[in-house]
Amino acid sequence: MVSGLIEHIILRGVAILQYADDTIICVKHDLERARDMKFLLYLYEMLVGLKINFNRSEIVVVNDRNWGQIYAEMFDCQIGYFPIKYLG
Protein backbone atom coordinates (compact mmCIF):
# COMPACT_ATOMS: atom_id res chain seq x y z
CA MET A 1 0.00 0.00 0.00
CA VAL A 2 1.26 3.44 -0.88
CA SER A 3 0.19 6.30 1.35
CA GLY A 4 0.53 10.02 0.93
CA LEU A 5 2.26 12.77 2.86
CA ILE A 6 0.83 15.34 5.32
CA GLU A 7 -2.00 13.03 6.38
CA HIS A 8 -2.52 15.20 9.46
CA ILE A 9 -3.60 18.09 7.19
CA ILE A 10 -5.29 16.40 4.21
CA LEU A 11 -7.35 13.22 4.57
CA ARG A 12 -5.24 10.30 3.23
CA GLY A 13 -2.46 12.75 2.42
CA VAL A 14 -1.03 13.85 -0.90
CA ALA A 15 0.42 11.02 -2.97
CA ILE A 16 0.38 12.35 -6.54
CA LEU A 17 0.59 15.84 -8.03
CA GLN A 18 -0.07 16.11 -11.77
CA TYR A 19 -0.03 18.92 -14.30
CA ALA A 20 -0.09 18.40 -18.08
CA ASP A 21 2.33 15.52 -18.72
CA ASP A 22 4.37 15.86 -15.50
CA THR A 23 3.75 13.77 -12.39
CA ILE A 24 5.22 14.08 -8.90
CA ILE A 25 4.78 11.01 -6.69
CA CYS A 26 5.17 11.62 -2.94
CA VAL A 27 5.97 8.66 -0.69
CA LYS A 28 7.32 8.27 2.82
CA HIS A 29 10.81 6.88 3.41
CA ASP A 30 10.22 3.13 3.35
CA LEU A 31 12.18 0.80 1.07
CA GLU A 32 9.39 -1.77 0.95
CA ARG A 33 6.83 0.84 -0.12
CA ALA A 34 9.29 2.20 -2.67
CA ARG A 35 9.64 -1.30 -4.15
CA ASP A 36 5.84 -1.52 -4.25
CA MET A 37 5.71 1.81 -6.08
CA LYS A 38 8.29 0.62 -8.62
CA PHE A 39 6.21 -2.54 -9.17
CA LEU A 40 3.04 -0.47 -9.64
CA LEU A 41 4.81 1.73 -12.19
CA TYR A 42 5.90 -1.35 -14.16
CA LEU A 43 2.35 -2.73 -14.00
CA TYR A 44 1.11 0.60 -15.34
CA GLU A 45 3.57 0.36 -18.23
CA MET A 46 2.41 -3.16 -19.12
CA LEU A 47 -1.32 -2.48 -18.78
CA VAL A 48 -1.48 0.90 -20.50
CA GLY A 49 1.31 0.41 -23.01
CA LEU A 50 3.09 3.65 -22.14
CA LYS A 51 6.75 3.70 -21.16
CA ILE A 52 7.97 5.70 -18.16
CA ASN A 53 11.26 7.42 -19.00
CA PHE A 54 13.24 6.85 -15.81
CA ASN A 55 16.32 8.42 -17.46
CA ARG A 56 14.53 11.78 -17.34
CA SER A 57 13.05 11.16 -13.88
CA GLU A 58 14.51 12.33 -10.58
CA ILE A 59 14.39 11.18 -6.97
CA VAL A 60 14.30 14.05 -4.47
CA VAL A 61 14.86 13.05 -0.85
CA VAL A 62 13.76 15.32 1.99
CA ASN A 63 15.70 15.46 5.29
CA ASP A 64 18.16 12.52 4.97
CA ARG A 65 19.80 12.87 1.55
CA ASN A 66 21.99 9.82 2.19
CA TRP A 67 19.08 7.66 1.05
CA GLY A 68 18.93 9.43 -2.31
CA GLN A 69 21.51 7.17 -3.95
CA ILE A 70 19.74 4.01 -2.78
CA TYR A 71 16.40 5.18 -4.15
CA ALA A 72 17.98 6.48 -7.37
CA GLU A 73 19.53 3.07 -8.01
CA MET A 74 16.26 1.33 -7.19
CA PHE A 75 14.33 3.45 -9.71
CA ASP A 76 17.25 3.73 -12.16
CA CYS A 77 17.07 7.51 -12.28
CA GLN A 78 18.96 10.64 -11.23
CA ILE A 79 19.06 12.37 -7.86
CA GLY A 80 17.27 15.71 -7.89
CA TYR A 81 17.47 18.64 -5.47
CA PHE A 82 15.23 21.47 -4.35
CA PRO A 83 14.03 23.62 -5.92
CA ILE A 84 12.79 21.00 -8.35
CA LYS A 85 12.46 21.78 -12.04
CA TYR A 86 8.73 21.43 -12.60
CA LEU A 87 7.24 21.50 -16.09
CA GLY A 88 10.69 21.51 -17.60
Mean pLDDT of 45-72: 88
Percentage of the chain beyond pLDDT 90 is 18
What residues have CB less than 8 Å from 37, skipping those under 6 apart?
2, 25, 27
Task: State residue 56's pLDDT score.
Answer: 87
Radius of gyration of the chain (CA): 13
Where do the H-state alpha helices sit in 1-88? 31-48, 68-75
Q: Which domain range does residue 48 map to?
A: 16-79
Judge whether 9 lies within some domain: no
The predicted-structure confidence for 38-55, as pLDDT tens digits, reads as follows 898 899 899 999 888 888
* Residue 6 counted as domain residue: no
- The total domain count for the chain is 1
Q: How far apart are CA 73 and CA 35, in angstroms?
A: 11
86 within domain boundaries: no
For residue 74, being part of any structural domain is answered with yes
